[in-house]
Amino acid sequence: MIKLTLKDGSIKEVESGVSIFDVAKSISGRLAKEAVAGVVNNTTVDLNYILSEDVELSILTINDEAGLDVFRHTSAHVMAMAVQNLFPGTKLAIGPPIENGFYYDFDTEHVFVPEDLEKIEKEMKRLIKEDLIPERFTMPRKEALEFVSDLEADYKVELIKDLPEDAELSFYKHGEFVDLCAGPHLPGLKQIKAFKLLSIAGAYWRGDSERMMLQRIYATSFPKASQLEAYLHRLEEAKKRDHRKLGKELKLFSLMEQGPGFPFFLPKGMIVKNKLLEYWREVHDEAGYVEIETPQILNRELWETSGHWYHYAENMYSLKIDDDDYAIKPMNCPGGMLVYKTELRSYRDFPMRVGELGKVHRHELSGALHGLMRVRAFTQDDAHIFMLPSQIKDEIKEVVRVIDSVYQTFGFKYHVELSTRPEKSIGTDEAWEQAETALQEALEEMDLDYKLNPGDGAFYGPKIDFHLEDCIGRTWQCGTIQLDMQLPERFGLTYIGEDGEKHQPVVIHRVAFGSIERFFGILIEHYAGKFPTWLSPVQVKIITVADRHEDYAVVLKNTLKSYGIRVELDGRQESVGYKIREARLERNPYMLVIGDKEIEKSNVAVRSRDKGELGSMQVEDLVELLLDEIVLRN
């Protein structure tokens, strides 16, 4: 008998030689039906893996993220098989699962067109109906090279050559299809109930623009047709909400070829952006932060001290000034360290909360640029908190409170992820362990659920990331809390302690919005351009029925403006219906129609974007309604 330590910590004794599927079946019929793979001592394996010794065992289902990856990776193999069946001679590159789906890169003389996707889907359905069983086999590197060479799999040959000479390589086969693959895979193809091929794109082999341009097919798959239908609905909704489309229609920002990755904000967009900055300043003033501004360009010595010159150079814009090396800042942190050093600090100054709305520049590949979501210049709502080691937990909790209040204002749900030391990092093991423990304990004391991301921290410290969920279920990484014990040491930061001696402070780096530009883009899509009243560039649109109503409309406009309400007047010689339709497209929160009745009664006919016709209203009551929404940020 062997002992299996299951995910819940319980011990299960089974006979040596049983498969993971047998174990799942012995636990429950439902688990056996939903199981897709297993994890043995932290290694993901197929369900037919034979257990012969005491191990830690987790059984993955579709509901697990890793289980869904197995499901979609198998789907990618089915798609690759279908492509090779339909287009003989096609060479396979790679086909991994990705967030919300999978893709496969192909080298073929045939140029894929959208109509091909339907043909491939039809062939995939035929293959799935056969319920082929993925079979794993292995061979040494030398034999594997000969094997793939016989298959004329050029890309697989290159992948194998990059592996150690003593490597044992695995392949998966179903039917006549064979692919180099670490696995694992589903026990049978019939588990793939619903899938959709989404799009065709070009992709350089291994992301190198000097290499072969391949054809990539993006797709997704789900265990249930209803899940696929819901996902496709979200995709359609996302297209309607695309911030690039709405940004142009609503005249918020412009993307121009003269500055790729450098967005131009238009007057209405600047209103929204400035309101976000105004709100940020209000929140941080209440939370005890002071605001600073640091230079855009600083010399190489600074970036060498911070470590960016060696660890982040490929993302930085550098230049020469008077024969010396300088760089445009990709981060605000080093400048914040210099500000700290302008005075001698005492333990009584702590916690010292310093915020900066700093413009940063980072070199992004042109293919990665995406509207406001991925740009080369953006405003980061940075803050640096200098503190005593004993204040770490309380300050982390306070930062979480501030970030939570910001996200609640915009109606976002979120989840939290804790990222630990990456392979490329600076600092001692002891400092990293202390920092990681402090973040973890703070999260646990706040009873916040979190996901652990080993190795995904910043090069100078571990971090807590906040992932927002928008109104159609997509997630966006925005807020970050990073605990840093490295930069204070590198910059020689000190304070005079209670004992009269010099000590090194601890620093928290944190953002709430992350990038103002990116957050703006997220808001456009979250609200579908229908900003809440307090944030809308135009809060009220006044529409006249005829020219004779304009004098009254102008007085009304000036009255509203005197209360700080953002208002526009449409007095054009167009039909009322036409002007109302245009105002709806602009997504203004309120429309006021002015005609003879309104002038006679000295009131306004009010139409709400969200509630429809509100009827006639006295101007004083309208002002009270608007100011309440603005103050309450509705």
Domains within the chain, CATH numbers bracketed: 2-61 (3.10.20.30), 68-238 (3.30.980.10), 262-294+330-527 (3.30.930.10), 540-631 (3.40.50.800)
For the chain, what's the residue count?
Answer: 634
Catalytic residue status for 509: yes
Identify the three-state secondary structure at position 522: helix
Residues 6+ apart with CB under 8 A from 282: none
CB-CB contact of 50 with 21 (8 Å): no
pTM: 0.81
What is the percent of the chain where pLDDT is above 70?
Answer: 99
Per-residue confidence at 329, pLDDT binned at 50, 70, 90?
very high
Pick the catalytic residue from 380, 482, 486, 539. Answer: 380
Does residue 436 contact residue 420 with C-beta atoms inside 8 Å?
A: yes
251, 334, 480, 583 from 588: Cα distances, Å: 13, 42, 33, 6
Question: Structure tokens of 631?
Answer: 């103050």
The catalytic position among 362, 374, 526, 557 is 362
What is the token pair recorded at 193?
Answer: 């109930």
pLDDT tens-digit series, residues 265-323: 999 999 999 999 999 999 999 999 999 999 999 999 999 999 889 888 899 999 999 99
- For residues 352 and 384, give the distance between their C-alpha atoms in angstroms, rounded to a whole number: 8
| Cβ-proximal residues to 26 (8 Å cutoff; 6+ apart), any chain | 12, 14
**Cα–Cα distance between 198 and 536 in angstroms, integer?**
34
Query: What does the pLDDT average to over 97-125?
Result: 94
Least confident of 184-193, 244-253, 282-291: 184-193
Q: Which residues of 459-488 are buried (b: 16+ CB within 10 A; e: fewer)?
A: bbbbbbbbbbebebebebebbbbbbbbbbb
pLDDT digits (tens, 9 = 90+) for 54-72: 888 999 998 888 999 999 9
Examine the residue annotation and report whether 181 is marked as an active-site residue of this protein: no
In the numeric block, which tokens belong to residue 433?
Answer: 């362990």
Q: Is 477 in the active site?
A: no
Residue 152 has pLDDT above 70, yes or no: no
Can you give the pLDDT at residue 434?
A: 83
The active-site residue out of 84, 268, 333, 470 is 333
- Amino acid, res. 332: N
Task: Judge whether 510 and 482 are in contact, CB under 8 Å.
Answer: yes
Residue 553 has pLDDT above 90, yes or no: yes
- Comparing 484-488, 498-502, 568-572, which segment has the lowest mean pLDDT? 484-488
Phi-psi category of 181—alpha, beta or left, where left has phi over 0 and alpha has psi -120 to 50?
A: beta
Cβ neighbours, 10 Å, residue 563: 12
For 117, the enclosing helix (H) or strand (E) is: helix 114-129
Give yes or no for residue 459 having a pLDDT over 80: no
For residue 46, indicate whether it is catalytic.
no
Bond into 537 cis (ω within 30): no
Task: Summarize the confidence of residues 443-458 as an average pLDDT.
Answer: 88
Strands 540-544 and 590-594: parallel
Phi, psi (deg, nearest 5) at residue 38:
-130, 160
**Active-site hit among 273, 421, 463, 587:** 463
Q: Which of 284, 509, 557, 579 is catalytic?
A: 509
C-alpha 125/C-alpha 474 separation (Å) is 29
Give the residue among 408, 499, 392 at the shortest CA–CA distance from 441: 392
Average pLDDT, the chain: 92
Sheet holding 567-570, edge to edge: 567-570, 540-544, 590-594, 603-608, 612-618
Give me the helices (H) in 312-391, please: 333-340
333: annotated active-site residue: yes
Average pLDDT of 515-519? Answer: 95
Does the pLDDT at position 124 exceed 80?
yes
353 is catalytic: no
> Is 470 among the catalytic positions?
no
For the segment 125-153, the average pLDDT, to the nearest whole number, is: 87
- State yes or no: pLDDT of 461 exceeds 90: no
**Structure token pair of residue 473:** 């279920």
Q: Tell me: pLDDT of 460 over 80.
A: no
Given a contact cutoff of 8 angstroms between Cβ atoms, the answer to whether 347 and 389 are in contact is no
Please tell me which residue in 174, 353, 384, 526 is annotated as part of the active site.
Answer: 384
Minimum mean pLDDT range among 4-18, 172-186, 378-392: 4-18
The predicted pLDDT at position 150 comes to 67
Query: In this predicted structure, what is the pLDDT of residue 121?
Result: 96
Longest dimension (CA), the chain: 95
3-state DSSP assignment of residue 49: coil
Specify the DSSP class assigned to residue 440: H
Given 105, 179, 382, 470, the catalytic residue:
382
The answer, yes or no, to whether residue 147 has pLDDT greater than 90, is: no
